[in-house]
Structure 1
């Protein structure tokens, strides 16, 4: 069972960006932590977020401090429903390739994985900067400037987690 969790976490960490450049997000872009005007703590539990919803103001830069109190790896991803659906497809496809690629002594075949995208224990960011993976018992951060109102969500796109309810609305006022 532990090998499955490790495999899932590595599959997530090795994914390419699904959204292109950070400039492609209508609702905002990643920002340096020094520009944050507010810090919001989000606890990731197994199949739940606390708080269940978030509110920000257009123009605000928020530093999200993400704490995984669960036993599974979880993701904090900002996007709309279509972005989450696309990201989930990529994660499932990558997971399938990883599991069929074979196993080595650690339970994983790491050939072909881009380790430069992996940030063990501290999360990872996809190319768009709107996602971070947080391992069990770990903390990570994501700082984001919200540009304009848009119907977005924060979600965990680890296979099955979004569908099990690990998603919440993020209101941009």
Structure 2
């Protein structure tokens, strides 16, 4: 029995070290992605260079909202839903993407496997794809959408986590009330 427990522990540690989590889908305690057809309303968010308009969004718990993201600025911007701690972690991933040459001022550059040699495998497997369901990148002059069902009352931020953008004030408040 002791050996079985040690083997089970070793298997768990190996799985974690390889990045093979038990659940491949990331979950969020404030909600989940939804299809645009499920939305009960749409909110347009205009992205300027280092600004969001509106700066605040109010939502009711249980509501599904289609966020229409219009980038009227000259730079690539991100719309990311989360709390301050989530944004701080995501900013580190975005910094890695920028340092790798993948994140450019006006868009994303496709990376081949050879150009990622020596990089952190977690960043390659997750962050280097920029495929989180609570986040979307919008190139200058483009429009994108993010539809989300907000499941509980909470206070969140929507932010651009491209290096320096959050710090320059590209962050807004999203309040989910009962």
Shorter-chain TM-score bucket reads 0.7 to 0.9
Match of 2:10? none
Task: Structure 1: state its 5+ residue gaps.
Answer: 1-19, 100-107, 115-124
Task: Structure 2: state its 5+ residue gaps.
Answer: 1-23, 103-108, 117-128
Match of 1:156? 160
Q: Work out the CA distance in 1 between the residues paired with 2:110 and 2:161.
A: 23
Counterpart pick for 1:141 among 122, 142, 145: 145
The TM-score, its normalising length taken from structure 1, stands at 0.73
Offset of residue 150 of structure 1: 1.9
| 1:2-81 alignment, distance < 5 Å | 21-22=25-26, 24-81=27-84
1:21 and 1:127 in contact (8 A); partners too: no
CA-based RMSD: 2.1
Q: Work out the CA distance in 2 between the residues paired with 1:85 and 1:30.
A: 21
Larger Rg: 2
Q: How many residues align?
A: 135
